[in-house]
Amino acid sequence: MSEPLEADFVIVGAGSAGCALAHRLSEDGRHSVLVIEGGGTDWGPFIHMPAALSYPMNMNRYDWGFRTAPEPHLGGRRLAVPRGKVLGGSSSINGMVYVRGHACDFDGWEADGAKGWGFADILPYYLKLETSHGGEAGWRGSDGPLHVTRGPRRNPLYHAFVEAGKEAGYGETADYNGHRQEGFGPMEMTVWGGRRWSAANAYLRRAWKRKNVRVMANSFVRRVVIENGRATGVEIGARGVERTVRARREVILSASSINSPKLLMLSGIGGADALRKLGIEVKADRPGVGRNLQDHLEIYLQAESLKPVTLYRYNNLLGKALVGAQWLFTKTGLGASNQFESAAFIRSKAGVSYPDIQYHFLPLAVRYDGTSAVKAHGFQVHVGPMRSKSRGHVALTSPEPEAAPEILFNYMSHAEDWEDFRACIRLTREILRQPAMKDYLGREIMPGPDATDDEALDEFVREEVESAYHPCGTCRMGAAEDPLAVVDPECRVIGVEGLRVVDSSIFPRITNGNLNAPSIMVGEKAADHILGKPPLPRDTRRVWIHPEWQTKQR
């Protein structure tokens, strides 16, 4: 701790985007990089064993432990908001599902003011970051740091689910991350060599070997230091000692869609009136900080299995021990997969131009926290809408950095949210009743066979819906003249020099599917902006859109 704490680039947060930045900013050896992470090491089997995914996201050691304020449209329930507090950030505690997002999502970003972030602009960065194993040739990267693989799909239920989708009239896609997202097919995961391939494994470890990179774990950043309108460093509290880390060129916040806006507000960047009420000196009046909070919600539609083919036989102490031992010594077997091996993206109705419903299929009836609603063989379909119109916020509760912020998603505040979930449930039931599932589909566990009318389905959603853990949007990227934009299209905080935000908080709108992949892509693209490099050449290929989307739902 006696060494001067300074670097050309100071990155706050060793998560999905932060790890990518650390690698790319230090790659040519010309710049020093210091990464500050509030959590500790990612050592330990619970993180690296894919099948153990429910453990790290429920461990205080690895998670910031945030919860929402009482959600008014969910009966006052307070939902968990896991965010990784560990090297790799949320990529070290997530479900490892890899989804790029749909091309139309990114064209929507550009329409919202994020110039240069349309699909043609970001596709080259996906090609750069990936090493795809089994993806569509030409549409997927082959030599990037992030390995993307597929599970073996040995369980017959994975194939039955896809066949049921086809029987229901939906298409099939061999690669939803390729030219066609819409349809049923295999799911992809960030797993390599039987281990979780987090951003720490993919990016940070190779960067850490360089002499120009330093990583400070277990270091709590209290605020950004701003002098004469420029960010010059950050104030940290490590082991009870407060120090200032100096940034010779830039400070980059990659601290998550919860902690990045929190740090901006603690540093005097946010809505002026709210900051003054807390006694915080206003450095830049940006009322958009903390607003535009978005997420995906999902429900589990669970059913008992007529055949004993599910993972239930391993959901006991002995079964888990056997699976764990095989993985520990060989990195193979059930422990080497997150068990999400089949998926689908569909449209909820005619007139919707691209998928707005996502499916994860799991051959076990179990919650994210590992609890089970039934002691029997079962399976479940995770399903939820992709583009809710509901918006929430992150706000300070105190000027003290240690205080947790207020997080209110305002879930289900739009009437269309309820319509969308009813459609999700009814379309899912129709799929599961197809001939391909006949030999497996037993009694419906959740919502249950009696929940059929709108009122019953709404009550089920109100009581049981859960976050898919995809918060984003709280430091929205947009045009510099947009009063609610927080960063410009080069990720620079508007109104403060030498400060950028690079993580999922800058998403103007949420993307289809899980957010780890687009968060890493943001880190890759932002690195070129920060280094002053020309962006990668645009790729203007068009993705598949259902030719009759205006009149047909499938």
Taking a C-beta distance cutoff of 8 angstroms, is the pair 289, 505 a contact? no
For residues 45-59, b (16+ Cβ closer than 10 Å) or e, as one string?
Answer: ebbbbbbbbbbbbbb
- Is 245 marked as a binding-site residue? no
Q: Is 221 annotated as a binding residue?
A: yes
Radius of gyration of the chain, Cα coordinates, nearest whole angstrom: 23
Q: How far apart are CA 69 and CA 24, in angstroms?
A: 37
How far CA 75 is from CA of 81, 128, 144, 413, 462, in Å, comes to 17, 45, 45, 12, 7
Whose CA is closest to 19, among 31, 35, 30? 35
**Token pair listed for 476:** 């929205």
User: Does 99 belong to an annotated binding site?
Assistant: no
Residues classed as catalytic:
470
86 is in an annotated binding site: yes
Q: Which of 201, 205, 181 shows the shortest CA–CA distance to 131? A: 201
446 annotated ligand binder: no
Contact predicate 5/22, CB 8 Å: no
β-pairing verdict for 284-285 and 269-270 = parallel
Q: Is 189 annotated as a binding residue?
A: no
Cα 307 to Cα 464: distance, rounded to the nearest angstrom: 27
Dihedral sign for Cα atoms in the order 477, 123, 213, 195: positive
176 with 511: CB under 8 angstroms? no
Binding site residue list for FAD: 86, 94-97, 221
